[in-house]
Chain A
């Protein structure tokens, strides 16, 4: 019995004494999207930045909508998200200092092997969406106001097809991140829109496969913004700016281009070409 007590004390001691093993003292908080985090890009990108700058980057990965909220509330120093209209609104309302384009990736439409809407191989995503609506094939929407979700909604809207959480019946809004949405789509099965990175690293595909890809409309631009210190004085302007400078400069851009899963490049740096 004494042994048990000693053992427990020992375990607690080890737990607490070895605590400060990690944790840099210089760090910034970056609000970004689940797709970037889950694609594994950050694991590849951030250590390179930390080596160069001795600044730790803490990523909070949420949907674009929530990431922008975090910025507005001052809970992040830098935003790295992918929905241009929301980003521009963020800047216009004075929450962010300046938007710089960083890179793009692309979306793919995935769907069941059986392909009930017969859209496999179509290159025009709008036409594919229309056929899904016409055949009333099940569609799983993230419905979480993420960049992916907003991009999807824009395509429906451009087609004049009204979709929302209240229907039509074949349209299912899940209110979840990319991964859970893919998990659900594999079960239903259903068509859904995914960013390529999450799709490639996703392990539970079930009957799903890529049915539409390559359309210009499926390109997904990422922007980076510093949260405005005029609104939130505690924002780490200097460190955050260092991160932004690095990611749009050669070193960062090359690191992005180097990131591959199963031999495929997921993110295409395009910072210098576009500027702000």
Chain B
């Protein structure tokens, strides 16, 4: 109980004092996770749209597979990416081990299935609704895909944000491939894990609170932006 109370006051102190190290860590956290989300969005939304629109053999099996991959255990992903990016691994020559780039790769692998599966679900419904009209217009596949992506954008915000949430909250994979190097690959979750293991539960909890609050702020602004997008509501 006392830890929870002192966590609040520590969190407050950290925020008002604009602790330099903390701000660095927050910035790195968001940089890594936002980059991962940006890449996952560029892959996941088109993939979700293609799965929704294009019929090809094995499509259903692929959808089931991607849904299953949403639950990939982060440590396993971290381990596999470690083995791939390690100097002794197939991509070792790139020297990406223990870099923010490696963390972005790991988070991407974790969230591409999430963004793809959730956007597929959204876009599938929209496509069912639009299909006959778009066919009637003689729309080509790319035109159909662009149409549902654009018209579904507000609901897609949720899919993308779900991916972001998973990325920013993840610790197992980024710890393995990032190494939690102070000033280089230390992010909020790995800091929290570190402070917990030092037994400084109050500081760890304070950092957790700050992470949650910043993530909420980002989500809120994403939704506001989604609502502000063109095609104003008249009614």
- A residues sitting closer than 8 Å to B (CB atoms) are 1-2, 4-5, 7-8, 11-12, 15-16, 18-19, 21-23, 29, 34, 38, 42-43, 58-62, 72-75, 176-180, 182-183, 186, 198, 201-205, 232, 234
Contact A75 B180 (CB under 8 A): no
Q: Which of B31, B87, B199, B200 has the most CB of A within 10 A?
A: B199
In contact, B198 and A2 (Cβ under 8 angstroms): no
Known: A29-B98, A59-B182. A203 touches B200 (CB 8 A): yes
B197 touches A177 (CB 8 A): yes
In-complex Cβ contact of A179 among B92, B95, B196 (8 A): B196
Contact A179 B199 (CB under 8 A): yes
**B182, A60: Cβ atoms closer than 8 Å:** no
Does A202 contact B198, Cβ atoms closer than 8 Å? Answer: yes
Whether A59 contacts B197 by the Cβ 8 Å rule is: no
Instruction: Tell me the bound Cα distance from A15 to B37 in angstroms.
Output: 15
Q: Are A58 and B197 in contact (CB under 8 A)?
A: no
Residue of B nearest to A4 (CB): B224
Given contacts A7-B221, A59-B181, contact A205 B228 (CB under 8 A): no
Contact, CB under 8 Å: B194 / A38? yes
Chain A residues with CB under 8 A of B86: 73-75
Does A180 lie within 8 Å of B197, measured CB to CB?
Answer: yes
From A57, which residue of chain B is reached at the shortest CB distance? B181
Interface string of B103-141 (1 = CB under 8 A from A): 000000000000000000000000000000000000000
Given contacts A19-B31, A60-B181, A182-B199, contact A8 B225 (CB under 8 A): yes
Give chain A residues whose Cβ lies under 8 Å from the Cβ of B151: none
User: Closest CB-CB distance, A209 to chain B, in whole Å?
Assistant: 14
Interface CB pairs A-B, < 8 A, 11: A1-B227, A5-B224, A11-B221, A12-B34, A29-B98, A38-B198, A60-B181, A75-B98, A198-B198, A203-B200, A234-B95
A73-B88, A75-B86 given; name 17 further pairs at CB < 8 Å.
A1-B225, A8-B218, A11-B221, A15-B31, A15-B34, A22-B24, A22-B184, A29-B181, A60-B179, A74-B87, A75-B88, A75-B98, A183-B197, A202-B199, A204-B200, A205-B199, A234-B95
Choose one: A15, A75, A177, A179; the contact of B97 (CB below 8 Å): A75
Give per-residue flags for B154-196: 1 if the beta carbon is below 8 A from chain A beta carbons, else 0: 0000000000000000000000000111111000000000101
Q: A176–B11 Cα gap in the complex (Å)? A: 27
Q: Check B98 against A183 for contact (C-beta < 8 Å).
A: no
Q: Contacts A16-B31, A38-B194, A73-B88 hold; do A43 and B182 have CB atoms under 8 A apart?
A: yes
* Chain A residues closer than 8 Å to B196, beta-carbon distance: 179-180, 183
Whether B63 is near chain A, meaning CB under 8 Å from some CB there, is no
**Contact yes or no, B181 A58, CB < 8 A:** yes
Residues of A within 8 A of B202 (CB): 203
Give the size of the chain B interface in residues (CB under 8 angstroms).
34
Residues of B whose CB lies within 8 Å of any CB of A are 24, 27, 30-31, 34, 86-89, 92, 95, 97-98, 179-184, 194, 196-202, 218, 221-222, 224-225, 227-228
**Inside 8 A of A182's CB, which chain B residues have their CB?**
199
- Residue in chain A with minimal CB distance to B179: A60
Please name all residues of chain A whose beta carbon is closer than 8 Å to the beta carbon of B179 when the two chains form the complex.
Answer: 29, 58, 60-62
Q: Across the interface, name the chain A residue whose C-beta is closest to B38.
A: A12
- In angstroms, Cα B224 to Cα A182, docked, is 45
Where chain A touches its partner, the secondary structure class is helix
CA distance A1 to B233 in the complex (A): 13
- For A201, the chain B residues whose CB sits under 8 A away are 198
A205–B198 CA distance with the chains assembled, in angstroms:
10
Contacts of B95 in A (CB 8 A): 234
**B201 CB contact (under 8 Å) in A38, A204, A234:** A204
Q: Which residues of A contact B181 (CB under 8 A)?
A: 29, 58-60
Q: How far is the CB of B55 from chain A (nearest CB, A)?
A: 37
Chain A residue with minimal CB distance to B220? A4
B residues in contact with A8, CB < 8 Å: 218, 221-222, 224-225
Q: How far is the CB of B182 from chain A (nearest CB, A)?
A: 7
Distance, CA A19 to CA B34, complexed state (A): 13
B14 CB → nearest A CB, Å: 16
B183 / chain A contacts, CB cutoff of 8 Å: 22-23
Q: Shortest beta-carbon distance, A115 to chain B, in Å?
A: 21
Are B31 and A4 in contact, CB atoms less than 8 angstroms apart? Answer: no
Kindly state the separation between the CA atoms of A179 and B196 in the bound complex, as whole angstroms: 7
**B197 near A60 (CB under 8 angstroms)?**
no
- The answer to whether A58 touches B184, judged by C-beta atoms less than 8 angstroms apart, is yes
> Which chain A residues border B98 with CB–CB below 8 Å?
29, 58, 60, 75
One of A23, A74, A75, A178 near B197 (C-beta < 8 A): A178
Cβ contacts under 8 Å, B227 to chain A? 1
Closest to B83 in A: A73
Judge whether B27 and A203 touch: CB under 8 Å.
no
